[in-house]
Amino acid sequence: MDRFKNVFLLLILYFVLGLHIFANENEKKLEVAFYEAGFLFNDGVGLDKDVVLELEKRLGIEFRHSVKPRARIWHELKEGLLAISVSGVETPERREFAWFVPYVAQKNKAIMLKENSLKYKELEDFINDKNAKVALIRGFNHGEFYEEMFKKIENNRINEVPDVERLFILLKNKRVDLVVSLSSFYSYEFKKQNIAHLVEIRDWDKDNVGVVYGGLVLSKKYFSEEEYKKIADIFMEMKNDGTLENIASKYLTKDEVEESMRFLEWK
């Protein structure tokens, strides 16, 4: 009897809040999973964390926060084991099991050691070097431009790692020749690993076809379309009243914030 009483109380709570979510009876709060990724989230703080805190404030509820590897997050979202995650990139496959609400937009850029800057002036130079290796983060989608690039590279030239920190450790130690990363990732790691003076950044995606829209990811096993739309409306309010821009300004440069807000206008 107590079991059904607990479920009933949880359902009342969510209906009062306007979120009719069928939460796990053993959990008092829905789980939102973060992943370590530069200025988006690291050591418990970051852009993603601030966005979630603002959403909690506007909804009048609190989520249960956790930190997990990115690949595990996608697996749990797909299997219905996780309710929410952050800075997720929408793809046709992921739309099958999740709703996406974009709140930050950036471009990936190619980063190499300065000693290789003359060797790889253009994207084709790197692709055609059969000995050149690239490091990627497992479970990440790098946008259309670079995802197409990776398809042209043999698997034995691709080194997958679980997080951003190890991406740049490989580059610093010359285990790979190139990494592809967002500014919110590499700006943090440049400072943390003291490697800004060792690297060069290339923007090979001149036509901005690979803009990456990072968004809140809502599992369809926890959120209905109506609930998703309510949350999307809240994010639109956050964008229109300047909240998203103010949050981004804490972690990104002025140019990066302006670029992000401009790209969001396209979405």
Half-sphere exposure of 18 (CA within 13 A, CB side): 12
Same domain, 99 and 122: no
- What is the pTM for the complete model shown? 0.78
Residue 207 included in any domain: no
What does the pLDDT read at residue 133? Answer: 97
CA 56 to chain CA mean position, Å: 19
Judge whether residue 191 has pLDDT over 80. Answer: yes
Residue 208 included in any domain: no
Same domain, 125 and 55: no
What does the pLDDT read at residue 28? Answer: 61
Q: What is the dihedral of CA 142, 237, 52, 221, to 10 degrees?
A: -80
Domain count, the chain: 2
Same domain, 177 and 242: no
Give the model confidence (pLDDT) of 86-105 as tens digits: 999 999 999 999 999 999 99
Which is nearest to 148 in space by CA: 205, 95, 215, 88? 205
Give the model confidence (pLDDT) of 223-244 as tens digits: 999 999 999 999 999 999 999 9
Range of the domain at 194: 106-202
Judge whether residue 6 has pLDDT over 70. Answer: no
Which is nearest to 52 in space by CA: 262, 187, 234? 234
Asked whether 69 and 139 are in contact (CB, 8 A), the reply is yes
Which is nearest to 77 in space by CA: 214, 219, 222? 219
Same domain, 171 and 94: no
Same domain, 178 and 133: yes
Range with lowest mean pLDDT among 26-30, 33-37, 152-156: 26-30
Asked whether 168 and 24 are in contact (CB, 8 A), the reply is no
Which is nearest to 41 in space by CA: 68, 81, 73? 68
Same domain, 226 and 174: no
Q: What is the mean pLDDT of the chain?
A: 89
What does the pLDDT read at residue 145? Answer: 92
The amino acid occupying position 6 is: N
Same domain, 226 and 181: no
**In angstroms, rounded to a whole number, what is the distance separating the alpha carbons of residues 162 and 241?**
36
If phi over 0 gives left and psi between -120 and 50 gives alpha, with beta otherwise, what is residue 120?
Answer: beta
Same domain, 91 and 117: no
Helix (H) or strand (E) holding 165: helix 164-172
**Whats the size of the chain, residue-wise?**
267
CATH of the domain at 139: 3.40.190.10
End residue of a domain, out of 202, 237, 257:
202
End residue of a domain, out of 163, 181, 202:
202
What does the pLDDT read at residue 243? Answer: 96
Residue 28 included in any domain: yes
CA 212 to chain CA mean position, Å: 9
Tokens of 243: 């909240």
Same domain, 100 and 110: no
What does the pLDDT read at residue 25? Answer: 37
